[in-house]
Structure 1
Amino acid sequence: MRFQSVLRTGLSITDGNVSPAGGFLSAREGGGAVRCITCVHQGYELYGSDRSFCETVRTIREAYPQAWIDVVLPKAGPIVASLEGAASRIVIEPIWVLRRRNLLRLATLGMAALPFAVARALRRIRASDLVYVNTTVVADYLLAARLLPGRTVVHVHEIPEGATLTVLRSLIRWSRANIIFNSRATQAAFAMPKDATARVVYNGIAGPAVPNPARYDGSRPLRLLMLGRISRIKGQEVLVEAIRQLPDAVRSRVELKIVGSAFEDDAREAALAAQVAEAGLSRQVTCSPFVADPDSLYRWADVVAVPSQLPESLGRVAIEALAYGIPPLVSGIGGLTEIVEDRATGWVVPPGSAEALSRTLAEIVTRPDLWRDYPAAARARYERIFDEKLAAEGIAAMLRLTLQREPARVRDARAPADAASKSAG
């Protein structure tokens, strides 16, 4: 199917017998095949949630090869190229997204735009047989979903806290959308009613055909990678402090690459660079901007660090590390404990503790014999639980259920039972 990139709204493009922006008789009304699917995403970069969205759109394309698939984004960015071949059209238009840094503006000036945003979302839902909404913060589509029930699936990829959790939980309940949770931790945090139609589907990825060989033996510096958005939540500052606390003889045997950018926050990037310089770590630690393809970084790394300070709903970077046969070093919080088996496929440390992180790093550097089997075990865990085919099966099952318009009880994913029983950290 021809791919169209649209950088403004209101443009109608047709391809054969498919009319993407409305004007067709939907499968729901006419009883025919699925003809139009809308996929909505709140981002435009290529971080973990963005890459997960692209993979889900590809899953939808494989399940419904003849459908017209509109992808709605708030802004053009690196994600657009990754959607080619799966999306029929990219639509760039305003989306009412609940971001922490913009909540005050949304609660004041933004409220004036909300009715128009909901009306726009409602038109798209009405013109679609199925609507896939990636994450709970896409408020306009979730508000509109209640008015046309039985068409919307929301994919939950976050574990908010406090008032934010209350707001987002209420938004999902209001929407009456079917729900995909990306981990049991996410499902537990949102605590939906028992009559909700929901399932847990772990994020799956397309891993490399050949993982990295197990190669660290202590004869050279340990190559430590931290990949992701620079933010307080991700814990770059804690990791830098942990390296500063290492004994001099150990610190000199660590090379850390921090790769990522802050979201519209140059000051945070500058503060991280200043911390590295003030700690005297400029020779051991390098900070680089976001890259769209991290393959070469994973090929370089011996260990991948995910020292998150607040609950991760799952942790795509940790899953990607497993796929490359790299043991992850993660915080024992949220869905990360469903990915890593402590002292078997990686290491789990208390969140926010630079001291505990530093002690574990010292052991990793000085005792490679203790973890020589971790790389092979990491790859095996990826293949057993986090392969993209398993995720595609779970997502496709929820889409079929939604199209049937039949309610169902909360259910878990097809991931093996040991995903929960063996991964507590």
Structure 2
Amino acid sequence: MNTVLAAPAEADWVPGASCPGGGQAPTITCVHQGFELYGSDRCFIETVRSLRNTYPAARIDVILPRHGPIVAALEPVASRVVIEPLWILRRKGLARRLTVDLMALPVAVLRALGRIRASDLVYINTTVVADYLLAARLRPGRSIVHVHEIPEGAVLKVLRGLIRWSGADVVFNSRATAWAYALPAGATTRVVYNGIAGPAVPNRGGYDGSRPLRVLMLGRISRIKGQDVLIEAVAALPEALRQRIDLRIVGSAFEDEARERALAERIVAAGLSDRVSLEPFVTDPAALYRWADVVTMPSQRPESLGRVAIEAMAYGVPPLVTAIGGLPEVVEHGQTGWVVPPGGPEPITQTLADLIVDPKSWQGFGQAARARFEARFSEASAAEGIEAAVRATLQRSRTAREAHQSPTPID
């Protein structure tokens, strides 16, 4: 049974009502695999908000698999938020999903197909929502899949196959993501960098070495993100420099308390309890970005783009990232931050040491980072790209419907 969690005034919208500027108000379904407020969740919120701004009279239904913090952020812009089962492919439990749970897939695909039939456009956020991608093939020309992840090995093959099967239009969040999926030339694709609504006023900056360097790592605790490598990097600093750094690692593991405990134990074992704090996930990281001198993403597996790095730049905080996935598309090494090789702690250790010893060498990085954010990663820039993709898909969807509904001429 569906649980409707939000039904504002748009619930009374009548199909065929006109949009400002002409045309009919579309019915849009937005499907998301998450329910928290991590990077992909916030990107989804911003996309739905953009759709509402572009189509104020539209009916916009949001489909989520669970209730969570994301719901409150979506209620003001969605016509309704519906909680219902989604057939999601996650790395954890994937073997069970592809064996025992297969029996539930036909029902999930039929449910998704019903929503696609009732919609002018279906926006599917990330490739792991398998039921909607499978159903999209049965109602072509109505779906967009927004790809935010770069999986590896067999998972990449499965997800690439799902996208190709779906026939959906594809939005990639970086050139690195598009390159990883390597879709055939005939696919309708475009690259749109994720954008965010940054603060009106960035940090003033001004680290001069008179206090410990404030380093922030923000994100889900996982092997992909590299928290363990960062701890090794700080532990490898000479004792005098270790005393001149404050590191805050903020985030939680997704339903994996054992991983969180292991990370806390690693900090203690490295003798860093007085220099490194491990803090739980927060829904609003603004105060953390205001605190930081440097934000780091020491990722050890491909990041499709790197939202945390973009958010840091919005606050005028230079990021220290690894050269993997889309991160080098975000940060300009030696100008707006630092890009170091992945694979081990040594490059991070050396960079942190340089930052502490010679703060004047990166004095203008924060201002340059903010300028790059405004030019390439603002909310307006991302909204423009998503709106162009939506307009193109909606036009094809309406053309196909009109052709289907028009009477066949009699000779």
Match of 1:108 among 66, 87, 99: 99
Match of 2:185 among 183, 186, 194: 194
Could you state the TM-score of these two structures normalised by the residue count of structure 2?
A: 0.93
**CA deviation after TM superposition for structure 1 residue 18, in Å:** 2.8
**Corresponding residue of 2:3:** 8
- Aligned AA (1:369): K
**Corresponding residue of 1:395:** 386
Equivalent residues of 1:153, 1:178 under 8 A apart: yes
**CA deviation after TM superposition for structure 1 residue 16, in Å:** 6.3
| Per-residue Cα deviation, 1:20-71 (whole angstroms, up to 9, x for no partner) | xxxx6799xxx96133110000000000000000000001101110011110
| Per-residue Cα deviation, 1:264-287 (whole angstroms, up to 9, x for no partner) | 000000000000001110010001
Distance 2:163 2:364 in 1: 43
Distance 1:353 1:336 in 2: 17
**CA deviation after TM superposition for structure 1 residue 330, in Å:** 0.2
Matched, 1:282 2:273: yes
Distance 2:7 2:210 in 1: 61
Distance 1:340 1:11 in 2: 39
Could you state the TM-score of these two structures normalised by the residue count of structure 1?
A: 0.90
Q: Aligned with 1:164: secondary structure?
A: helix
CA distance 1:13–1:332, shift in 2 (3 Å): closer
Distance 2:54 2:214 in 1: 40
Equivalent residues of 2:9, 2:79 under 8 A apart: no
**Corresponding residue of 1:18:** 13
- Aligned AA (2:230): L
CA distance 1:164–1:252, shift in 2 (3 Å): same
**Corresponding residue of 2:352:** 361
Q: Aligned with 2:124: secondary structure?
A: strand
> Number of aligned pairs?
394
Matched, 1:350 2:346: no
Match of 2:253 among 244, 257, 262: 262
CA distance 1:280–1:39, shift in 2 (3 Å): same
- Aligned AA (2:120): D
Matched, 1:34 2:37: no
Equivalent residues of 1:26, 1:128 under 8 A apart: no
Match of 1:175 among 166, 170, 173: 166
**Corresponding residue of 1:309:** 300
Match of 1:272 among 250, 257, 263: 263
Which has the higher mean CA deviation after the structures are superposed, 217-226 or 7-16?
7-16
Distance 1:18 1:82 in 2: 21
Distance 1:392 1:320 in 2: 16
Q: Percent identity?
A: 64
Distance 1:56 1:349 in 2: 31
Superposition misfits of 4+ residues, deviation over 4 angstroms: 9-17, 24-27
| Per-residue Cα deviation, 1:213-251 (whole angstroms, up to 9, x for no partner) | 121000000000000000010000000010000000000
Cα root mean square deviation, aligned: 1.9
- Aligned AA (2:171): I
- Aligned AA (2:194): N
Equivalent residues of 1:231, 1:262 under 8 A apart: yes
- Aligned AA (2:352): L
Q: Aligned with 1:310: secondary structure?
A: coil
- Aligned AA (1:359): Q
Equivalent residues of 2:7, 2:80 under 8 A apart: no
CA distance 1:15–1:53, shift in 2 (3 Å): closer
**CA deviation after TM superposition for structure 1 residue 14, in Å:** 8.4
Distance 2:235 2:115 in 1: 52
Equivalent residues of 2:61, 2:79 under 8 A apart: yes
Distance 2:229 2:11 in 1: 55
CA distance 1:244–1:384, shift in 2 (3 Å): same
- Aligned AA (2:232): E
CA distance 1:212–1:16, shift in 2 (3 Å): closer
Distance 2:372 2:38 in 1: 22
Q: Aligned with 2:217: secondary structure?
A: strand
Distance 1:207 1:13 in 2: 27
Distance 1:379 1:301 in 2: 14
Taking the TM superposition and a 5 Å limit, the aligned residue runs for 1:10-409 are 15=10, 17-18=12-13, 33-405=24-396
Distance 1:175 1:9 in 2: 27
Distance 2:48 2:353 in 1: 42
**CA deviation after TM superposition for structure 1 residue 324, in Å:** 0.4
Q: Aligned with 1:359: secondary structure?
A: helix
| Per-residue Cα deviation, 1:62-114 (whole angstroms, up to 9, x for no partner) | 11100111100000101011112211101001111100012111111210000
Distance 2:320 2:180 in 1: 23
CA distance 1:143–1:10, shift in 2 (3 Å): farther
Q: Aligned with 1:180: secondary structure?
A: strand
Equivalent residues of 1:321, 1:328 under 8 A apart: yes
Equivalent residues of 1:34, 1:129 under 8 A apart: no
Q: Aligned with 2:3: secondary structure?
A: coil
Distance 2:62 2:11 in 1: 19
